[in-house]
Amino acid sequence: MARCELSCKIGPSVLNADLSELHKESVRLLDSGADYLHLDVMDGHFVPNITFGHPVIKCLRPKIPDAFLETHMMVSKPEQWIEPMADAGVNQYTFHVEPCENIPQVCRKVREAGMKVGLGLKPGTGVSAVEKYIDLADMILIMTVEPGFGGQKFMTNMMEKVQWLRQNYPNLDIEVDGGVGPSTIHACAEAGANMIVSGTAVIGAPDPCKVIATLRDAVVNSIQKSQLER
């Protein structure tokens, strides 16, 4: 797919937010400088946890009509939830390749439903599993923790996947998710990630705006440096 010039995007995860106040928390994050919201959807099968699904997102959408919403579908049957999520107002549908039997078909259905396509990789899945599908996607998500729970330790060795993708696909949107915060952002940025999901580090911060700005500065500086080196 044709892609425009690379840009930095910060998308806080609401996983560790007060979900009873999801609207207020979402507005707080957006007001703090978030470019999009990363909504973790878990089914208790693909990962051993359960969060929320399309009914919650459909209730949230009218309250934040202009926000870009990405759903991270940690589910065993990603094809099952395409239409409900599109109906709920989701902008990007990111699903994992591991449980998916027909990745091209799911990508096509997501796009036909009017959403952008994201492909996710668990830590144990090599980048070769997604290589032949990159042209079908808008973004590749590299998990830097095992999906299913927030607050885990960042896996530095996952940056090798990010580096490979950036070297071979200079304009591809590459997202990292898991344990990302001020102490790990430079590794992500230097490897080539331009879409940053940060949960605990942003949600739990006294000043989320400052944390988001710190993440953004690191990524923007890295993008500018790589462009000068081309």
Active site residues: 40, 177
CA distance 34 to 213: 9
Compute the Cα dihedral for 178, 149, 12, 214 and give only its sign.
negative
3-state SS, residue 60: helix
Task: Kindly list the distances between the CA atom of residue 176 and the CA atoms of 5, 17, 189, 213, in Å, as whole numbers in the listed order.
Answer: 19, 19, 10, 17
3-state SS, residue 99: coil
User: Whose CA is closest to 137, among 104, 98, 170?
Assistant: 104
3-state SS, residue 77: coil
Structure tokens at 154: 């960042």
Quote the Cα angle for 215-220-225, to 5°. Answer: 130
Contacts of 225 (CB under 8 A, 6+ apart): none
CA distance 31 to 38: 15
For 212, list phi and psi in degrees, rounded to 5.
-60, -40
